Amino acid sequence: MAGSSHRVTLGPLVAAIDQGTSSTRFLVFNSKTAELLSHHQVEIKQSFPKEGWVEEDPKEILQSVYECMERTCEKLTQLNIDIANIKAIGVTNQRETTLVWDKETGEPLYNAIALKHTTNECYLTHSVIFFCHHSTYVN
């Protein structure tokens, strides 16, 4: 087919990373028309160690972002859309989720703790129990 290797020029593209409590998505839009050109979504596993507690593996969250971006860019390439035209990326995240990591290694100290269908009191109790149990991390 003539011209099938030709890249489509759509002008600047805008992307969004949407990292929520149950999934991660990466979406790419035409900045002039707001048309969704491609996207990919990955579900995130949650664990419930105690009633009212919701936790997620921070490394799985990060990996899901990478996977969504890679798959979306692969789909755009298959559509002959040049990913170099992605000029901006917006990020949304889990507002009520807390993650603590080691400032020297960058490694997470524990799972991400989500505040979902719980009260601040439950969250605070969970945090205090965790840090008392892992007191070597507190200066």
Per-residue pLDDT of the chain (139 residues; tens, 9 = 90+): 444 566 666 889 999 999 998 999 999 999 999 999 999 999 999 999 888 788 999 999 999 999 999 999 999 999 999 999 999 999 998 877 888 889 899 999 999 988 764 444 555 555 545 554 554 544 4
pLDDT of residue 138: 46
Q: Domains of the chain: which residue ranges?
A: 13-137
pLDDT of residue 2: 44
pLDDT of residue 61: 96
Distances in Å between the Cα of 6 and the Cα atoms of 3, 9, 76, 80 are: 5, 9, 13, 7
pLDDT of residue 4: 52
Q: What is the 3-state secondary structure (H, E, C) of 109-135?
A: CCCEEECCCCCHHHHHHHHHHHHHHCH
CATH no., domain 13-137: 3.30.420.40
How far, in Å, CA of 129 to CA of 29, rounded?
44
